Amino acid sequence: MSGGDGGAGGQVRARRADARRNEKALLDAAAAVFVASGVEAPVRDIAAEAGVGMGTIYRHFPTRADLVVAVYRHQIESCAEAGPALLASGPTPHAALGRWIDLFADFLVTKHGLAAVLRPDSAGFEALHASFLDRLVPVCAELLDAAVASGEIRERLSAYELLRAVGNLCIGDDQDPRYDARRAVRLLVAGLARPE
Protein backbone atom coordinates (compact mmCIF):
# COMPACT_ATOMS: atom_id res chain seq x y z
CA MET A 1 0.00 0.00 0.00
CA SER A 2 2.05 2.91 1.34
CA GLY A 3 4.52 3.86 -1.35
CA GLY A 4 7.03 1.12 -1.23
CA ASP A 5 9.51 0.33 -3.97
CA GLY A 6 7.23 1.59 -6.71
CA GLY A 7 7.77 5.16 -5.57
CA ALA A 8 9.14 8.00 -7.71
CA GLY A 9 12.67 7.37 -8.86
CA GLY A 10 12.72 4.08 -7.00
CA GLN A 11 15.88 2.80 -8.65
CA VAL A 12 16.16 -0.93 -7.99
CA ARG A 13 19.66 -1.76 -6.90
CA ALA A 14 21.50 -3.60 -9.64
CA ARG A 15 22.06 -7.31 -9.09
CA ARG A 16 25.39 -8.34 -7.79
CA ALA A 17 27.99 -9.60 -10.21
CA ASP A 18 28.13 -13.09 -8.69
CA ALA A 19 24.38 -13.40 -9.04
CA ARG A 20 24.55 -12.66 -12.74
CA ARG A 21 27.46 -15.02 -13.16
CA ASN A 22 25.64 -17.82 -11.38
CA GLU A 23 22.49 -17.43 -13.42
CA LYS A 24 24.49 -17.74 -16.61
CA ALA A 25 26.35 -20.75 -15.23
CA LEU A 26 23.06 -22.37 -14.29
CA LEU A 27 21.54 -21.89 -17.71
CA ASP A 28 24.61 -23.33 -19.39
CA ALA A 29 24.78 -26.23 -16.95
CA ALA A 30 21.08 -26.98 -17.31
CA ALA A 31 21.30 -26.96 -21.09
CA ALA A 32 24.22 -29.37 -20.95
CA VAL A 33 22.54 -31.69 -18.45
CA PHE A 34 19.26 -31.66 -20.38
CA VAL A 35 21.07 -32.77 -23.50
CA ALA A 36 22.99 -35.44 -21.63
CA SER A 37 20.30 -36.80 -19.31
CA GLY A 38 17.02 -35.38 -20.53
CA VAL A 39 14.77 -32.69 -19.13
CA GLU A 40 13.85 -34.84 -16.14
CA ALA A 41 17.39 -34.77 -14.79
CA PRO A 42 17.55 -34.16 -11.02
CA VAL A 43 18.00 -30.56 -9.96
CA ARG A 44 20.93 -31.66 -7.83
CA ASP A 45 22.77 -32.74 -10.96
CA ILE A 46 22.33 -29.33 -12.50
CA ALA A 47 23.50 -27.61 -9.36
CA ALA A 48 26.55 -29.83 -9.28
CA GLU A 49 27.31 -29.24 -12.95
CA ALA A 50 27.08 -25.50 -12.40
CA GLY A 51 29.13 -25.74 -9.22
CA VAL A 52 26.54 -24.03 -7.04
CA GLY A 53 24.31 -25.09 -4.16
CA MET A 54 20.65 -25.99 -4.18
CA GLY A 55 19.68 -22.68 -2.65
CA THR A 56 21.23 -20.78 -5.50
CA ILE A 57 19.32 -22.69 -8.13
CA TYR A 58 16.02 -22.16 -6.37
CA ARG A 59 16.58 -18.46 -5.84
CA HIS A 60 17.19 -17.88 -9.53
CA PHE A 61 14.50 -20.31 -10.68
CA PRO A 62 11.81 -20.84 -8.06
CA THR A 63 10.83 -24.10 -9.66
CA ARG A 64 12.38 -26.66 -11.95
CA ALA A 65 9.89 -25.67 -14.63
CA ASP A 66 11.12 -22.07 -14.54
CA LEU A 67 14.61 -23.28 -15.29
CA VAL A 68 13.37 -25.34 -18.21
CA VAL A 69 11.40 -22.40 -19.53
CA ALA A 70 14.45 -20.17 -19.32
CA VAL A 71 16.65 -22.67 -21.11
CA TYR A 72 14.30 -23.04 -24.06
CA ARG A 73 12.84 -19.56 -24.17
CA HIS A 74 14.62 -18.32 -27.25
CA GLN A 75 13.93 -21.50 -29.19
CA ILE A 76 10.23 -21.14 -28.48
CA GLU A 77 10.50 -17.54 -29.53
CA SER A 78 12.00 -18.35 -32.90
CA CYS A 79 9.41 -21.05 -33.45
CA ALA A 80 6.70 -18.49 -32.78
CA GLU A 81 8.28 -16.06 -35.18
CA ALA A 82 8.43 -18.68 -37.91
CA GLY A 83 4.64 -18.90 -38.02
CA PRO A 84 3.77 -15.71 -39.89
CA ALA A 85 6.80 -16.16 -42.11
CA LEU A 86 5.64 -19.60 -43.23
CA LEU A 87 2.15 -18.31 -43.79
CA ALA A 88 3.47 -15.53 -46.02
CA SER A 89 5.81 -17.72 -48.02
CA GLY A 90 3.94 -21.01 -48.13
CA PRO A 91 1.89 -22.30 -51.05
CA THR A 92 -1.28 -22.67 -48.97
CA PRO A 93 -2.23 -21.98 -45.37
CA HIS A 94 -2.66 -25.68 -44.67
CA ALA A 95 0.81 -26.41 -45.99
CA ALA A 96 2.19 -23.59 -43.84
CA LEU A 97 0.41 -25.01 -40.82
CA GLY A 98 1.88 -28.43 -41.55
CA ARG A 99 5.39 -27.03 -41.77
CA TRP A 100 5.00 -25.01 -38.64
CA ILE A 101 3.69 -27.99 -36.70
CA ASP A 102 6.69 -29.95 -37.98
CA LEU A 103 8.94 -27.28 -36.53
CA PHE A 104 7.18 -27.50 -33.20
CA ALA A 105 7.30 -31.28 -33.18
CA ASP A 106 11.00 -31.24 -34.06
CA PHE A 107 11.66 -28.96 -31.16
CA LEU A 108 9.81 -31.21 -28.72
CA VAL A 109 11.30 -34.43 -30.03
CA THR A 110 14.90 -33.29 -29.97
CA LYS A 111 14.71 -32.26 -26.31
CA HIS A 112 14.63 -35.58 -24.51
CA GLY A 113 11.51 -35.74 -22.43
CA LEU A 114 10.43 -32.15 -22.87
CA ALA A 115 7.06 -33.12 -24.30
CA ALA A 116 6.23 -35.33 -21.33
CA VAL A 117 6.50 -32.34 -19.09
CA LEU A 118 4.37 -29.99 -21.13
CA ARG A 119 1.08 -31.23 -19.74
CA PRO A 120 -0.72 -28.88 -17.35
CA ASP A 121 -0.88 -31.48 -14.60
CA SER A 122 2.64 -32.80 -14.81
CA ALA A 123 3.60 -32.44 -11.14
CA GLY A 124 4.38 -28.75 -10.91
CA PHE A 125 4.92 -28.01 -14.56
CA GLU A 126 1.88 -25.84 -15.04
CA ALA A 127 4.25 -22.91 -15.36
CA LEU A 128 6.07 -24.52 -18.26
CA HIS A 129 2.82 -25.41 -19.92
CA ALA A 130 1.45 -21.91 -19.55
CA SER A 131 4.62 -20.19 -20.66
CA PHE A 132 5.06 -22.21 -23.83
CA LEU A 133 1.43 -22.28 -24.82
CA ASP A 134 0.82 -18.60 -24.13
CA ARG A 135 3.37 -17.79 -26.75
CA LEU A 136 2.45 -20.43 -29.31
CA VAL A 137 -1.33 -20.68 -29.19
CA PRO A 138 -1.89 -17.30 -30.88
CA VAL A 139 0.55 -18.20 -33.63
CA CYS A 140 -1.13 -21.53 -34.18
CA ALA A 141 -4.53 -19.87 -34.16
CA GLU A 142 -3.42 -17.51 -36.89
CA LEU A 143 -2.33 -20.37 -39.11
CA LEU A 144 -5.44 -22.35 -38.31
CA ASP A 145 -7.70 -19.39 -39.08
CA ALA A 146 -5.99 -18.83 -42.38
CA ALA A 147 -6.45 -22.46 -43.33
CA VAL A 148 -10.09 -22.36 -42.36
CA ALA A 149 -10.60 -19.15 -44.32
CA SER A 150 -9.03 -20.71 -47.38
CA GLY A 151 -11.45 -23.60 -47.06
CA GLU A 152 -8.71 -26.19 -46.78
CA ILE A 153 -9.75 -27.43 -43.36
CA ARG A 154 -12.76 -27.28 -41.17
CA GLU A 155 -11.85 -26.19 -37.72
CA ARG A 156 -12.77 -29.06 -35.49
CA LEU A 157 -9.88 -28.42 -33.12
CA SER A 158 -8.91 -25.23 -31.34
CA ALA A 159 -5.33 -24.02 -31.57
CA TYR A 160 -4.87 -25.04 -27.97
CA GLU A 161 -6.17 -28.51 -28.59
CA LEU A 162 -3.99 -28.93 -31.64
CA LEU A 163 -0.86 -27.94 -29.79
CA ARG A 164 -1.69 -30.17 -26.87
CA ALA A 165 -2.39 -33.06 -29.21
CA VAL A 166 0.93 -32.54 -30.98
CA GLY A 167 2.69 -32.20 -27.66
CA ASN A 168 1.15 -35.43 -26.46
CA LEU A 169 2.06 -37.26 -29.64
CA CYS A 170 5.69 -36.28 -29.16
CA ILE A 171 5.91 -37.84 -25.71
CA GLY A 172 8.40 -40.64 -25.52
CA ASP A 173 9.46 -40.46 -29.16
CA ASP A 174 13.01 -41.05 -28.06
CA GLN A 175 13.39 -44.24 -25.94
CA ASP A 176 11.14 -46.12 -28.35
CA PRO A 177 12.50 -46.89 -31.78
CA ARG A 178 9.19 -48.43 -32.82
CA TYR A 179 7.36 -45.14 -32.45
CA ASP A 180 7.81 -42.16 -34.75
CA ALA A 181 6.03 -39.15 -33.34
CA ARG A 182 6.55 -37.02 -36.42
CA ARG A 183 4.67 -39.49 -38.58
CA ALA A 184 1.75 -39.50 -36.16
CA VAL A 185 1.78 -35.71 -36.09
CA ARG A 186 1.68 -35.53 -39.86
CA LEU A 187 -1.30 -37.86 -39.87
CA LEU A 188 -3.11 -35.71 -37.37
CA VAL A 189 -2.56 -32.61 -39.48
CA ALA A 190 -3.73 -34.53 -42.53
CA GLY A 191 -6.90 -35.43 -40.64
CA LEU A 192 -7.51 -31.75 -40.17
CA ALA A 193 -7.99 -31.30 -43.90
CA ARG A 194 -11.55 -31.13 -45.04
CA PRO A 195 -12.61 -34.71 -45.75
CA GLU A 196 -15.34 -34.04 -48.31
> Nearest distance from residue 57's CB to DNA, in Å?
7
Q: Under the criterion CB under 8 A, does residue 187 sit at the interface with its own copies?
A: yes
Q: Under the criterion CB under 7 A, does residue 114 sit at the interface with DNA?
A: no
Out of 62, 120, 138, 151, the only residue in the binding site for its own copies (CB under 8 A) is 120
Q: Under the criterion CB under 8 A, does residue 42 sit at the interface with its own copies?
A: no
Residue number, 5 or 121, with CB nearest to its own copies: 121
> Which range binds its own copies by CB under 8 A, 47-55, 84-92, 102-110, 188-196?
188-196
Q: Are 169 and 186 in contact (CB under 8 A)?
A: no
How far apart CA 85 and CA 113 sit, in angstroms, is 28
- Under DSSP, the state recorded for 62 is S
Residue number, 25 or 182, with CB nearest to its own copies: 182
How far apart CA 32 and CA 135 sit, in angstroms, is 25
Q: How far is CA 103 from CA 98, 106, 133, in A?
A: 9, 5, 15
In angstroms and rounded to an integer, the radius of gyration of the C-alpha atoms of the chain is 20
Out of 17, 74, 195, 196, the only residue in the binding site for DNA (CB under 7 A) is 17
> Which range binds its own copies by CB under 8 A, 44-52, 60-68, 71-79, 186-194?
186-194
Q: Are 115 and 167 in contact (CB under 8 A)?
A: yes
Identify which of 106, 127, 123 has the alpha carbon closest to the alpha carbon of residue 170.
106
Q: Are 102 and 182 in contact (CB under 8 A)?
A: yes
Q: Under the criterion CB under 8 A, does residue 192 sit at the interface with its own copies?
A: yes
Residue number, 77 or 176, with CB nearest to its own copies: 176
Out of 44, 73, 183, 194, the only residue in the binding site for DNA (CB under 7 A) is 44
